[in-house]
Structure 1
Amino acid sequence: MAEQREKLLEIKDLKKHFQVDKKIVLKAVDGISFSIYKGETFGLVGESGCGKSTAGRTIMRLYEASSGEVDFQGQNVHGKKSKRELKDFNRSMQMIFQDPYASLSPRMTVKDIVAEGIDIHGLVSTKKERLNRVNALLETVGLNQQHGNRYPHEFSGGQRQRIGIARALAVDPEFIVADEPISALDVSIQAQVVNLLKKLQEERGLTYLFIAHDLSMVKHISDRVGVMYLGNMAEVASSDDLYHRPLHPYTQALLSAIPVSDPEVERSREQIVIEGDVPSPTDPPSGCRFRTRCPLAMDVCANVEPEWQEYTEDHWVACHLYNDKYNDEYKARQTAQVTS
């Protein structure tokens, strides 16, 4: 049961707004709430520009939150903290970045890149201990000791991402934000990196926030999945529930676009096409943000923002179709279609 598991991270009405100029505010993340349980992988998906990477960086405190809370082990990440508390927090939470080409310093050897966190947190006392720890980390991610003396430009994209993973592991974190860690890699390498992350999770008891736009890969790695649209959460559920019983029209459309290997199934299934362009986060639609593209939109969707509700056990959705207070219009429409 989800409620019996230990919550490692709880996000409460988190917002991150950017002031573009005196009059324009970009609402990248605009009031999201969900929890991540200890030892699980929580997948966060959505179209490009939906705010998922900004959410990950705000959770990590790379961006200061505009409002809301990020509670890590019961402590507010964005609350006022001493330098010591921040240092301990930074050790507990680490990040794997999307671009393995841009996230590694070209002027540092791999050995020094991996050891940077070790040095900052004073985890070893001698150069020999430092070297032994770096070598062990390189071997853990599938590289060898000789790689430590080379520079990032001497490696392939997949190898550089392994270096990034080793750097994140160096301080023994409990929680890792993986921000689209495979999107810049060749398809043949993506599965290797995902399998490495799963192996490390089993061995070290890690908890992941895995941000991606590839829904098929997210299904493979995630225990639970959250779907974002234009700065808001549309749906959160276990991986099985979300992929077999999606509730939100946006989730249904995303899942219908995933290719299926069986040609018979592919021909017979209905693909839901989302019309129109994603609205600007500087001027989001009133009410439900998806309503301008939703094939099931009702009059109420333009005026009332959907409530974030637990529709079934640990399956959350923000949609008026699942609120008895507002869905009479949809039921009446369905009845009219049947009788016409």
Structure 2
Amino acid sequence: MPSNEKLIEMKNLKKYFPMKQKQVLKAVDNVTMDIHKGEILSLVGESGSGKTTLGRTVSRLYHKTNGDILFGGKPVEKYSIKEFTKKVQMIFQDPQASLNPRMTVGDIIAEGIDIHKLAKTKKERMEKVYSLLEIVGLNREHANRFPHEFSGGQRQRIGIARALAVDPEVLVCDEPISALDVSIQAQVVNLLKDLQKERNLTLLFIAHDLSMVKYISDRVAVMYRGKVVELGTPEEVYNNPIHSYTKSLISAVPIADPTAKKHEKVGVDESYLRSPMGDVSEINKIPEVPELTEYEPGHFVETSFLKENKLI
């Protein structure tokens, strides 16, 4: 069960990419958000909104431009990369691209075990590999095969087994089901949900499939142009969206039941949109007011949107 303990804290987190003429692309712009221990926090938004960049920055695959990331109340810089990667593992969107085609599945999964010296003997090493394969729904015999011999869903299960090999506290799942068939998507999501309960994992689940996000999440954060614009429980965000962008996302979700009431089509109000571009002088700029305001208990909305629409 999720607790109120903050495992990961982001404070005015920025990840800017340099462009020409002292311009920067603000992929992640002043994000302040917490991830609680044992919860599944989903991050949703359209392509290019900054979801993956945020996940990779939290995982330390990208160096942050500015701001703070705290893990267990301690700045992530206080951890060595080896120490941190044992605590935070990532599951990638494309399982084929993230698995070394020249290594057997057994060696791929055991790589983390070898680096962190989690097995004393070769026999213990392989027993751990076999156990992980069975946990994710594969067979012991699969350890001697290569990634190209598996389907997309099976490769994603191998990626999950590899991430679990070091017994992490956090899994950052970067659209882990977007490249899979619909039936396989459900299997992988159920697997992640079961693992989260059994191992008390904390998940940052990045996705654009809102129906799946509603099913798996404890909280949902909506991201747009590098900013988190709304944050709350799935019930609050889906049933009572406040931000225009959240409304536009939900209105785009197809409804299978032809007798059900369709979502009202909502256009995004262009007046509050910010360009994701800026200049280098903005790197050290700290917002004068919090980016998010608690509009209702546990339901946070972008402060500037609330002010411009006279909701606060």
TM-score (norm 1): 0.83
Q: Does 1:272 align with 2:266?
A: yes
Residue 263 of structure 1, CA deviation: 1.6
Change (3 A) 1:180 1:321: closer
Corresponding letter in the other structure for 1:223: D
Q: Structure 2 vs 1, CA of residues 159 and 273 (structure 1 numbering), >3 Å: closer, same or farther?
A: same
Aligned match of 1:213: 208
Query: Is the alpha carbon distance of 1:21 and 1:219 closer, same or farther for their aligned partners in structure 2, counting shifts above 3 Å?
Result: same
**Residue 254 of structure 2 is aligned to residue 255 of structure 1:** no
- Spell out the pairing of 1:144-223 with structure 2 (5 A cutoff): 144-223=139-218
1:312 to 296, 300, 307: 296
User: Hey, what does 1:66 align to over in structure 2?
Assistant: 65
Contact 2:104–2:143 under 8 Å retained in 1? yes
Aligned partners of 2:245, 2:24: CA distance in 1, in Å? 25
Identity over aligned pairs, percent: 58
Measure how far apart 1:153 and its partner are. Answer: 0.4
Q: Please state how far the C-alpha of 1:321 moved relative to its aligned partner.
A: 5.4
Q: 1:245 to 1:275 in 2, by over 3 A?
A: closer
Aligned in 2, Cα 1:264/1:273: closer, same or farther, shift over 3 Å?
farther
One-letter amino acid matched to 1:66: T
State the Cα deviation string for residues 141-180 of structure 1 (Å, max 9, x = none): 0000100000000000000000000000000001010000
**Which position in structure 2 is the counterpart of 1:297?**
none
Checking the alignment, whether the CA contact within 8 Å between 1:306 and 1:320 is kept in structure 2 is no
Q: Measured at CA, do residues 128 and 171 of structure 1 come closer, stay the same or move farther in structure 2, by a change above 3 Å? A: same
Give the alignment of 1:31-50 within 5 angstroms. Answer: 31-50=30-49
Q: Indicate the residue corresponding to 1:106 in structure 2.
A: 101
Aligned to 1:56: 55
Q: Supply the distance in 1 between the matched residues of 2:242 and 2:168 (Cα, whole angstroms).
A: 34
Q: CA deviation at 1:282?
A: 2.6
Go from structure 1 to structure 2 and tell me whether the alpha carbon gap of 1:327 and 1:183 turns closer, same or farther (over 3 Å shift). Answer: closer
Q: For the Cα contact (< 8 Å) 2:45–2:208, is it kept in 1? A: yes
Secondary structure of the corresponding residue to residue 228 of structure 2: strand
* 1:266, distance to aligned residue in structure 2 (A): 3.7
Number of aligned residues: 302
Q: What code does the residue aligned with 1:264 have?
A: T
Question: Which residue does 1:294 correspond to in 2?
Answer: none
Question: Shift in Å at residue 305 of structure 1?
Answer: 8.7
1:213, 1:306 → 2: CA distance?
26
- State the TM-score, normalized to the length of structure 2: 0.91
User: Which blocks of at least 5 consecutive residues in structure 2 are unaligned?
Assistant: 280-287
Deviations 1:209-243 (A, max 9, x none): 00011111111111000001000110000111111
**Contact 2:48/2:225, CA 8 A, preserved across alignment:** yes
CA shift, 1:320, in A, is: 4.3
Corresponding residue SS for 1:183: coil
The 3-state SS of whatever aligns with 1:42 is strand
Aligned amino acid, residue 133 of structure 1: K
Deviation at 1:21, TM superposition (A): 3.1
Alignment check: 8 A CA contact 1:139 1:145 kept: yes
Return 5+ residue gaps in structure 1 as ranges.
285-303, 332-340
**Equivalent residue of 1:264, what SS?**
coil
Partner residue, 1:289: none
Cα distance 1:228–1:305, how it changes in 2: closer, same or farther (>3 A)?
Answer: farther
Once residues 165 and 320 of structure 1 are traced to their aligned partners in structure 2, the CA distance between those partners, rounded to angstroms, is: 39
The range that moved more, 258-267 or 157-166, is: 258-267
Partner of 1:6: 5
What is the DSSP-based 3-state SS (H/G/I as helix, E as strand, rest coil) of the residue aligned with 2:27? strand
SS of the equivalent of 2:186 reads helix
The alpha-carbon deviation at position 24 of structure 1 amounts to: 2.5
2:219 to 213, 221, 224: 224
Q: Distance in 2 between matches of 1:161 and 1:41?
A: 19
Structure with bigger RCO (C-alpha 8 Å, 6+ apart):
2
Please give the per-residue CA displacement for 1:131-150, whole angstroms capped at 9, x wherever unaligned. 00000000000000100000
CA separation of 1:187/1:280 partners in 2, compared to 1, >3 Å: closer, same or farther?
farther
> What do you get for the CA RMSD once the two structures are aligned?
2.3
Distance 1:306 1:264, change over 3 A: farther
Q: Secondary structure at the match of 2:94?
A: coil
- Pairwise CA distance, 1:283: 5.2
